Structure 1
Amino acid sequence: MFSYIKYPFLIFTALMIFSCDEDFLETRPTDAISAADALATEANLSLVINGMHRTMYAQGQTVLPGGTAVASSNRAGDHYWVPLGDNLAGGLIHSANANNLGWRDEAQWTSHTDQTSLTVETLWYHRYNTITNANSIINKVAEGELPETPTLNEIVGQAYAYRAFSYLSLVQHYSKGYLIGNPSTDPGVPLLLATEAPFESAPRGTVQQVYDQINADLDAAISSFENASARPTGSAFDKANLNIDVAWGLKARTALATGDWATAATAAVNARQDYPIMGEDDWKAGFNTTLLPEVMWGSNVITTETTFFRSYFYLASNTFNGSQVRNNPKIADRRLIDAAPDTDYRKDMFLVDAPNSNLSASNGMGGFANNTNPLYTTEEEFEAEIDRLATVWGWTSAHNTHPYMHVKLRQQQPGGIEPDDIIYMRASEMYLIEAEAKAMMDDLSGAQEAIRPLGEERDSAYDPTVFDTQEEFIEHIKFQRGIELWGEGFLFQDKIRWDDPIDHAANGGSGASEVLYQDGFFQEKPSMNPKWVFKIPLSEINANPNLTSADQNP
């Protein structure tokens, strides 16, 4: 029995939140709807799917009743989990000491390595609740009582894709990386396929068994979507729905993680067909809406949600009006940005020459008295640039600035507290997956041509043929993923796949402070270091009869 998962409450929650139709609301109170009724009709199953969309970004206490940790307001779904991938891996760098929501603890590697932490418990619980809800739909439809329609196929396709996404998230955080371990024997995560309490699962299976389930679910999702109604278009909410393109995208991610290079390349091409690469104006627009043309999947965050100071933009943006942001502008690894040519417009979104206005900056270089940038020969010039940046980018006079701070992630109303949308999948990622997969298959010319459309759009002088060995091209892929997907949550899993360490001191340094970062300043490569694997929540070990202390990750 999974910790806190004691009854099918997500069915109830989905109906409670998304029962917006007046006729439905007038029939009976939502808290009186049984699980059987919630699964009785195609329309009700659609409401359950909508509830799953909301749990991707809502604060825990609003949709996940249960224990103290899982119902905490301090984690708002993928508002937290998406930027966590860059925070943990040292891509999204803290310039000063601030710890709202434990965000500094994550960077210092003191959270995911603690079996009682809010992070390990909430991520586990969130993903398994998504799985529980998906199981309810999948198992109900499998009974064959509902007539098959394009809409029903669309619903069940989303359920399979959600389950695959959740297991992929779990196995990539709570188990050793597929390519650096022994997947046939390394412990994975428990597989839960039941619909009703007590939600008995198997013990920890192997990593391979979990990936086999993920691939089976994605194949089932794709098959369902092939006979489904098309996803609507035109509103930001539409892309909250998973469709066949998202399923192919998840297939590409899964294959990349497992070294199935041919499948990764093919799936990536299938996924991106209907999503043109964004141009410069869109790339520089702030990454705050799922309406961007190459966005394949994302959460359309309802503006009335109270996720303001729990949002993605609060944790990762430099324009949000919160203390985490004002006191601690997030910077990019200067080694990454310095490697970008001036002909690459993505470099414009990282303010290399921003003055260090923060007297509490962790590098001790805040204020004009410590200025070493020859662009500012007087304090007046230094202060004038600080004021100019605030005017251009919309933050307040209370916001600090710092060299290499980013302006890639910005709300639609900079200087405010609106949460805005969360982007989960873009077409650019699919070009990068195809290119990496072909390079790993020793198809260097194919890899060069795969990345050419993306590179030529971003860099007016781009020529992929200069990277003419597999080693050079893979290093180039690391750069391209680093700058293209910066802040979008991929770096932690990328480093595991590439077996790369975190080393903020190497090659001139990243700009991070060793005093601030502590254990997060250097971590040995994942194949040599068990700390890359999240601890299983102690509460789960205590509550689940199929787990014991011997199942805890080292």
Structure 2
Amino acid sequence: MNNKIKYLLIALVTIPILSCQEDFLERTPTDAISAADALANEDNMQLVLNGVHRGLFSQSQTVFPGGDSGRANNHYWVPLGDNLTGDLIHSANANNLSWRSAMQWNEHSQPTSLTSRLLWYHRYNIILHANLLINEIESGSLTETDGLNTILGQAYTYRAYAYLSLVQHYAKGYLIGNPSTDPGVPLLYSSESPFTSEPRSTVQEIYDQIGGDLEAAIAAFEAAGATDSVSGASASEKSQLTIDVAQGLKARWALSKGDWQTAADAAAEARIGYPLLDESGWKSGFNTNELSEVMWGSNVISTETTFFRAYFYLASNTFNGSQIRNNPKIADRRLVDAIPDSDYRKDVFLPDAPNTNTSASNGEGGWDNNTNPKYSTEEEFDAATDSIKSVYGLVSGHNLHPYMHFKLKQANPGSTDPDDIIYMRSSEMYLIEAEAELMMNNLGAAKQALQPLAEARNSEWDMDDYATEGEFFEHLKFQWRVEMWGEGFGYTNHIRWDEGVDHAADGGSGASEVLYQQSYQIDKPSVNDDWVFKIPQAEIDANPNLGPGDQN
């Protein structure tokens, strides 16, 4: 990597270990634990792995020098996918953590932005630690055990996860470009200084690396005697990566590259043991890994001071922070209005919520500007406001807005508590399998793949309502958007489907053109290179293998 990152990564080897178990430090008299000590035995390797787990959700400066308190890693990166595509809509002007700036496409499109820089460094941080573990275990210096193979499986899975994230953000989409020639991202193999990397490999080479890592991960888990997990695992247990997570990532990887059969098979295998949520579970807030569908997520520990850097601070209308109180997040009204009344997912969106925010971007906030005929008097307007705040645990300072959501709800609403971050659910696997089958022109199989999920959510769902592949594809995209709303899939879905953003079409989304500016209407990814993140300018400046011509 570049000179800057070389020095960052030297320190990175030690920080996660120190932060996870203090007595390890007490046994080591030096200020930093060497790589040799970190890899001396299986227990120490698990500490390294635990540090990577924690690094997924901690504030970035606590994981590596040169980070920044403005990002708590996946607390930001997960909802960013829906923030960029206008699925998670801002109702008012608020820019804490550059969340508005990111929504307006003024972050990822700038090579000097914090967003472009920290996503890059965080993913390479994961790759470094994966390399550290993989290189040592594969050297054969330690006795093979089930525990060691489990660590190896997690390391390979992490490396695949990081490269998939990098290539999907910093390179052109596989299905809309020319993977064999499109520049991807640098490959990093080393685990010790000087951490030199390759030049930018092609998109195809990165995808091949990911595929190889996932196969190696699955083989390692199988060597450890891994079987399909069960949904009753604890929140902390689900922060560990399993063979199911590797299969789930394989399904994502294959879907994004058009390897439809592999995607369908991997998705069907991955979801075994993770039963679909019932209505009460689905409406409970998606704030814990303990939900039956959750295959993988970060179990956010209370001592990690994310708070006003948290996922729910950016996306959940129950969080007691100014980003939410002043700017309640809403869903696209075209999507919400299309949800049938027989589908209980509609209940988490409030189309008729009073607009109490006099700073709302649509200029309709407060009783004096009320346009909803449901409230004919100020008393009715105020009563509805009080009722919603009481039901959902909001504080007096929380504003309301039509089409606000309560899909993401804190376990302790009205607080600043950061909850778990969910990365993978079995619902996604049903959607992947259905899409893959449809892309293979297997309409009947696609309907059958979606049926368990669709019927679980909508008591009146009928596969016979969709007679053609085109009709079913539009319905499947609708199911993706409703089921996974707020969980960050908007960005990768838009790239895979080659769809732009249009808040004005079909009566409008409810977003304000004045607020959204250039992101109010965005051309589809195949004709608009702004969908590709800029490589950090610091990397371009310092990496001898990259030059100005490598910038996206």
TM-score by length of 2: 0.98
1:413 corresponding residue in structure 2: 412
1:42 corresponding residue in structure 2: 42
1:58 corresponding residue in structure 2: 58
- Cα–Cα, structure 1 residues 234 and 437, in superposed 2: closer, same or farther, change >3 Å? closer
CA contact (8 A) 1:252 1:267 kept: yes
- Per the TM alignment, residue 4 of structure 1 is displaced from its structure 2 partner at its CA by 2.2
Q: Which SS does the other structure have where 2:89 is aligned? A: strand
Instruction: Indicate whether 1:78 and 2:74 are aligned.
Output: yes
Q: Within 2, Cα distance between the matches of 1:520 and 1:31?
A: 48
1:330-363 CA distances to partner (integer Å, 9 max, x unpaired)?
0000111111000000000001110100001000
Letter in 1 for 2:57: Y
Instruction: Indicate whether 1:236 and 2:221 are aligned.
Output: no
CA contact (8 A) 2:92 2:360 kept: yes
1:541 corresponding residue in structure 2: 540
Q: Which SS does the other structure have where 2:424 is aligned? A: strand
Identity percentage of aligned residues: 63
1:384 corresponding residue in structure 2: 383
Q: Within 2, Cα distance between the matches of 1:169 and 1:29?
A: 37
1:161 corresponding residue in structure 2: 157
Q: Select between 103-112 and 225-234 the one with higher mean Cα deviation.
A: 225-234
2:166 corresponding residue in structure 1: 170
1:16 corresponding residue in structure 2: 18
Q: Within 2, Cα distance between the matches of 1:229 and 1:513?
A: 54
TM-score by length of 1: 0.97
2:431 corresponding residue in structure 1: 432
- Per the TM alignment, residue 446 of structure 1 is displaced from its structure 2 partner at its CA by 0.3
Q: Which SS does the other structure have where 1:546 is aligned? A: coil
1:365-387 CA distances to partner (integer Å, 9 max, x unpaired)?
11122222121110100011001
Instruction: Indicate whether 1:195 and 2:191 are aligned.
Output: yes
Q: Within 2, Cα distance between the matches of 1:174 and 1:433?
A: 23
Q: Which SS does the other structure have where 1:461 is aligned? A: coil
CA contact (8 A) 1:12 1:30 kept: no
Q: Within 2, Cα distance between the matches of 1:146 and 1:383?
A: 67
1:219-258 CA distances to partner (integer Å, 9 max, x unpaired)?
0000001122557964211001000000000000000000
- Cα–Cα, structure 1 residues 229 and 48, in superposed 2: closer, same or farther, change >3 Å? farther
Q: Within 2, Cα distance between the matches of 1:400 and 1:549?
A: 46
Q: Which SS does the other structure have where 2:373 is aligned? A: coil
1:451-487 CA distances to partner (integer Å, 9 max, x unpaired)?
0000000001011221121111111111001010000
Gaps of 5+ in 1: none
Instruction: Indicate whether 1:119 and 2:115 are aligned.
Output: yes
- Per the TM alignment, residue 18 of structure 1 is displaced from its structure 2 partner at its CA by 1.1
- Per the TM alignment, residue 15 of structure 1 is displaced from its structure 2 partner at its CA by 1.3
Q: Within 2, Cα distance between the matches of 1:514 and 1:123?
A: 28
Q: Within 2, Cα distance between the matches of 1:363 and 1:425?
A: 35
Q: Select between 466-475 and 133-142 the one with higher mean Cα deviation.
A: 466-475
Instruction: Indicate whether 1:455 and 2:454 are aligned.
Output: yes
Q: How many residues align?
A: 547
Q: Within 1, Cα distance between the matches of 2:30 and 2:59?
A: 20
Q: Within 2, Cα distance between the matches of 1:131 and 1:15?
A: 16
For 1:242-257, list aligned pairs within 5 A: 242-257=241-256
1:486-526 CA distances to partner (integer Å, 9 max, x unpaired)?
00000011000000010000011000000000011011000
Q: Which SS does the other structure have where 1:510 is aligned? A: coil
CA contact (8 A) 2:310 2:418 kept: yes
CA contact (8 A) 1:327 1:358 kept: yes
1:269 corresponding residue in structure 2: 268
2:177 corresponding residue in structure 1: 181
CA contact (8 A) 1:5 1:129 kept: no
2:441 corresponding residue in structure 1: 442
CA contact (8 A) 2:18 2:25 kept: no
For 1:86-485, list aligned pairs within 5 A: 86-228=82-224, 230=226, 234-485=233-484
- Per the TM alignment, residue 103 of structure 1 is displaced from its structure 2 partner at its CA by 0.1
CA contact (8 A) 1:8 1:35 kept: no
Q: Within 2, Cα distance between the matches of 1:57 and 1:111?
A: 20
Q: Within 1, Cα distance between the matches of 2:13 and 2:147?
A: 19
For 1:497-516, list aligned pairs within 5 A: 497-516=496-515
CA contact (8 A) 1:120 1:536 kept: yes
Letter in 1 for 2:462: D
- Per the TM alignment, residue 192 of structure 1 is displaced from its structure 2 partner at its CA by 0.6
Q: Within 2, Cα distance between the matches of 1:308 and 1:520?
A: 28
- Per the TM alignment, residue 92 of structure 1 is displaced from its structure 2 partner at its CA by 0.1
Q: Within 1, Cα distance between the matches of 2:201 and 2:80?
A: 26
1:78-109 CA distances to partner (integer Å, 9 max, x unpaired)?
00000000000110000000000000001100
- Cα–Cα, structure 1 residues 108 and 28, in superposed 2: closer, same or farther, change >3 Å? same
Q: Which SS does the other structure have where 2:163 is aligned? A: helix
1:245-299 CA distances to partner (integer Å, 9 max, x unpaired)?
0000000000000000000000000100010001101100000000000100000
Instruction: Indicate whether 1:530 and 2:529 are aligned.
Output: yes
CA contact (8 A) 1:83 1:487 kept: yes
1:23-64 CA distances to partner (integer Å, 9 max, x unpaired)?
x45423473421111111111111000000000000011111
Gaps of 5+ in 2: none
